[in-house]
């Protein structure tokens, strides 16, 4: 589209609305406002226009305000006082007048009955070129009017987690588009998992966007998503749709997700119990031996079909044995690991305390091994009140049990 065609035909600039669904009620809780240009045969996205830095700022701001004003008119006409309204703002353009023109527009509609607590301001943190503290001050000011803040496109481009933490968003929008690229799936899932942990730490709600397939919806549900958005659920339309549009479909899909998750948790529980029984039988035999290396050698022979590495640490994380590592069906000692300290690993000391108090083993979550990069799990078990054995299970073993 020619930018001049847009600027001289603002009557053809219209808002479209993409529904956002909730995990708890299975209903539409809001809409993202998207700009379109209506031609004779179709409505074309204004995304390229808004993202073209060659177009003067004042023109992009003008068109954006036309889209927003028409959207807010529609919301007031619909007398919708509950739906959240997500509006995209370019932070660099927003800070041109320190957000005054946007706030003035929103307040003019507040006088007509709009609740500003319905407004969710979407920004993309990594696009901002100015002083982050000034942006933070503006967003804090907006919050005094009840406006919520969402940070968009997380996971799509590089994001600065410290800046995200500073801005304290109410909502993090995580992009799932790249999850469809199989070659990047595992590493990307690890990144998204880290972002989910960040959201929990800062008290933000997770909204997963660009959901285009059922497995992406399942991933979003399993990883703390409260809100969902994407073409798989609803394509942008020129009007709101019934809030219960997908209620039955989502309820049925989530039942399937729940059943699969319960199957996985049961498999984890059963494997944990299996290793618990094996170690309860092995430990008394091992205690008769004179060294920790002898202990892990016995364990390696007994557990050769299910693990590839075994070692023993004390309660502070200092390794008391060598590693015994399986390569090409033979077990070899790696003495260089003696006295290495692993207390820096996430959950290490927490798991030591749990094992000490409960006198039971723990099966870890799936994680990437530092040395091999392979996805593995570790079963850890108390030998006595001060020493613990760690048994690494290879991906091949876990793959045979698909729920793991």
| Domain range list for the chain | 3-234, 260-400
Percent of the chain with pLDDT over 70: 95
* Per-residue pLDDT, 249: 95
* Per-residue pLDDT, 96: 93
* Per-residue pLDDT, 106: 97
| Banded model confidence at residue 2, pLDDT cuts 50, 70, 90 | confident
The pLDDT of 24-44, averaged and rounded, is 95
Q: What is the pLDDT of residues 350-386, one digit of tens each?
A: 999 999 999 999 999 888 888 888 889 999 999 998 9
Asked whether the domain spanning 260-400 has the same topology as the one spanning 3-234, the reply is no
Asked if residue 158 has pLDDT above 60, the reply is no
DSSP assignments along 160-222, one per residue: -HHHHHHH--SEEEEE-GGGG-GGGHHHHHHHHHHHHHHHHHHTPEEEEE---SHHHHHHHHH
Asked if residue 168 has pLDDT above 90, the reply is no
CA distances from 13 to 43, 117, 377 (A): 9, 26, 54
Task: Report domain 260-400's class.
Answer: alpha beta
| Banded model confidence at residue 73, pLDDT cuts 50, 70, 90 | very high
CATH code for the part of the protein at 3-234: 3.20.20.450
Is 368 in contact with 375 (CB distance < 8 Å)? Answer: yes
Asked if residue 194 has pLDDT above 60, the reply is yes
Q: What is the pLDDT of residues 270-318, one digit of tens each?
A: 999 999 999 999 999 888 888 999 999 999 999 999 999 999 999 999 9
Percent of the chain with pLDDT over 90: 75
Q: Is the dihedral of CA 356, 358, 360, 366 positive or negative?
A: negative
Residues 6+ apart with CB under 8 A from 97: none
Pairing of strands 225-228, 205-209: parallel
What pTM value is reported for the model? Answer: 0.87
The pLDDT of 13-41, averaged and rounded, is 96
* Per-residue pLDDT, 299: 95
**Distance between CA atoms of 360 and 327, rounded to whole angstroms?**
29
Is 323 in contact with 334 (CB distance < 8 Å)? Answer: yes
For 99: left if phi > 0, alpha if psi spans -120 to 50, otherwise beta; the answer is: left
* Per-residue pLDDT, 155: 60
**Distance between CA atoms of 4 and 18, rounded to whole angstroms?**
27
398 phi/psi in degrees, rounded to 5: -70, -35
**Distance between CA atoms of 133 and 139, rounded to whole angstroms?**
10
Q: Is the dihedral of CA 255, 265, 206, 18 positive or negative?
A: negative
**Distance between CA atoms of 264 and 260, rounded to whole angstroms?**
6
Asked if residue 181 has pLDDT above 80, the reply is no
Strand partners, 368: 375
3-state secondary structure of 327: strand
The pLDDT of 322-328, averaged and rounded, is 94
Compute CA 145 distance to the chain's CA centroid, rounded to the nearest angstrom: 28
The pLDDT of 202-206, averaged and rounded, is 92
Q: Which residues of 78-112 are buried (b: 16+ CB within 10 A; e: fewer)?
A: eebeebbbbbbbbbebbbeeebeebbeebeebbee
Asked if residue 166 has pLDDT above 90, the reply is no
């Amino acid at each position: 589209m020619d930018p001049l065609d847009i600027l001289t035909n603002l009557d053809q600039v219209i808002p479209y609305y993409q529904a956002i669904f909730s995990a708890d009620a299975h209903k539409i809780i809001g809409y993202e406002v998207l700009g379109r240009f209506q031609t004779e045969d179709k409505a074309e996205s204004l995304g390229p226009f808004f993202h073209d830095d060659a177009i003067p700022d004042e023109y992009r701001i003008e068109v954006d305000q036309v889209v927003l004003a028409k959207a807010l008119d529609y919301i007031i006409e619909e007398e919708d006082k509950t739906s959240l309204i997500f509006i995209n703002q370019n932070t660099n353009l927003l800070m041109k007048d320190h957000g005054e023109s946007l706030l003035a527009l929103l307040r003019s509609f507040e006088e007509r009955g709009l609740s500003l607590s319905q407004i969710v301001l979407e920004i993309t943190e990594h696009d901002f070129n100015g002083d982050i503290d000034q942006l933070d001050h503006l967003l804090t000011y907006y919050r005094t009017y009840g406006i919520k803040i969402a940070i968009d496109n997380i996971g799509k481009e590089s994001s600065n987690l410290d800046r995200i933490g500073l801005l304290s968003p109410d909502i993090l929008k995580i992009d799932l588009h790249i999850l469809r690229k199989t070659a990047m799936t595992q590493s990307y899932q690890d990144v998204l998992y880290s972002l989910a942990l960040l959201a929990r730490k800062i008290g933000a709600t997770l909204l997963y966007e660009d959901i285009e397939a059922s497995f992406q919806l399942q991933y979003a549900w399993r990883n703390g998503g409260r809100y969902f958005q994407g073409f798989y659920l609803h394509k942008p339309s020129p009007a709101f749709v019934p809030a219960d549009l997908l209620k039955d479909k989502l309820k049925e899909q989530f039942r399937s997700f729940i059943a699969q998750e319960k199957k996985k948790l049961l498999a984890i529980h059963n494997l944990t119990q299996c290793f618990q029984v094996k170690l309860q039988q092995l430990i008394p035999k091992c205690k008769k031996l004179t060294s920790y290396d002898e202990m892990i050698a016995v364990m390696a022979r007994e557990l050769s079909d299910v693990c590839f590495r075994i070692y023993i640490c004390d309660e502070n994380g200092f390794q008391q044995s060598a590693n015994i590592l399986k390569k090409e069906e033979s077990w070899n000692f790696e003495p260089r690991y003696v006295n290495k300290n692993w207390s820096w690993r996430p959950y290490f000391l927490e798991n030591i305390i749990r094992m000490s108090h409960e006198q039971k083993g723990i099966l870890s979550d799936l994680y990437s091994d530092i040395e091999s990069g392979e996805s593995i799990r570790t079963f850890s078990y108390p030998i006595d009140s001060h020493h613990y054995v760690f048994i690494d299970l290879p991906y091949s073993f876990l793959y045979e049990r698909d729920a793991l």
